[in-house]
Chain A
Amino acid sequence: MASSGLISLSEEHLALEKINTQYNNVENSVMLYFSSGNPHFSEIFSLYSDDELLEERNGCLVEHGFSASMNVLAAVEAAFRIDFELRCRNTDLEPISNRLRMMRGGRMQSSISFTREILSAWEEEHPNGTHVISALREAFQFRNWLAHGRYWVPNMDKMDYGDVYALAESTFEFFPLEGLN
């Protein structure tokens, strides 16, 4: 099998735990910023009502959740693509590895669709993981809505950070992705 199209791995992909630590640090910072624990609270929020303060704080937290969710889903995609890359380099005879190598042919990885091709390959080889794959496809619709500027009315439910993180953890527990650690 030709090795054309293989990419060099950067080792800069984010682990879920790191994303979660960052998420918590920022969330705690936002809560502190919008509380009387902020030494400049009286200046910054001068004459704000309770409702106005809560609205601004919650708006901030929602946006933070969206950004962190994008990072989590990027980490999920990266994990599958790293796995794809490693299986294409290896010569193991696992059915999923064979399937991914055939899908690759001589194509560049960037031309292979994550949701339509890579996830479909995993779904066919692990049919008992269909529910996870379906949830991932919906999550990636949400990610696309965020990534492309949210300009259309979404046809899926918006997810919060907790939902997205739980889905990522389930995905990594369920599918034996190479290179995950």
Chain B
Amino acid sequence: MTRQAFDNFIKKTNAKAESAKVDWHERREEWLDYLGEFYDMVDGFISDYVKSCQMSCIRTKTTLNERNIGSYDVDILSIEISGITIRLTPVGTILIGGKGRVDMVGPNGKVKFVLVPEGSTGPRIAIREAECNNNNDIHDCPETDTEESIRAWEWRIMTSPPQISYLPLDSDAFYSAMLEVING
């Protein structure tokens, strides 16, 4: 590769990064807000069981380390039912096609709770704008509906492949998820 070609590559890469500038601090804070909302929902789903001492729920801290965001602390929620432990562990916010993920892990399985565009029912194929008449590489062109332009996000349950779907999250869905990770 010649010096000129390398210079061009460096300029193009920096220009791309500049145009895609994200406020990573704001991104982290937004994710932590949504995570808080998720845990509030979970507290609501299990409050009756906790109040009647059929379940206990404790929070412990863990540290995540994500590209561009760096290290930060989040809560892990541990739910105990007669010696059986189910753990809700945040995975992060730098993810493909979503803004957040929390994994529920039990003795016999795992269920993923995902923060996705409101109303979405499954992964989207990213559509790239491309002009047909020039020689631009389609992968250099911006996506339509970029993540930053989507303002409404919601928590859903992600099914396993193949045929991944995002199912609405309510109390019944949450209880089913708990049974799945306990019983397999």
A residues whose Cβ falls under 8 Å from a Cβ of B: 36-37, 39-50, 53
User: Which of chain B's residues have a CB closer than 8 A to the CB of A53?
Assistant: 96
User: Which of chain B's residues have a CB closer than 8 A to the CB of A40?
Assistant: 125
CB-CB nearest in chain B for A43:
B123
Judging by beta carbons under 8 Å apart, are A49 and B95 in contact? yes
Is B105 located at the chain interface by the 8 A CB criterion?
no
Do A46 and B98 contact each other (CB < 8 Å), given the known contacts A36-B139, A37-B139? Answer: yes
Judging by beta carbons under 8 Å apart, are A47 and B125 in contact? no
B residues whose Cβ falls under 8 Å from a Cβ of A: 66-67, 91-92, 94-98, 101, 112, 114, 116, 122-126, 139, 158, 161, 164
Bound CA span A41–B139, Å: 12
Do A47 and B98 contact each other (CB < 8 Å), given the known contacts A36-B139, A37-B139? Answer: yes
Question: How many residue pairs bridge A and B at CB < 8 Å?
Answer: 48
Q: Which of B67, B94, B123 interacts with A46 by CB under 8 Å? A: B123
User: Which of chain A's residues have a CB closer than 8 A to the CB of B158?
Assistant: 46-47
User: Which of chain B's residues have a CB closer than 8 A to the CB of A48?
Assistant: 95-96
Judging by beta carbons under 8 Å apart, are A46 and B96 in contact? yes
Judging by beta carbons under 8 Å apart, are A47 and B101 in contact? yes
Considering residues B92, B96, B116, which has the most beta carbons from chain A within 10 angstroms of its beta carbon?
B96
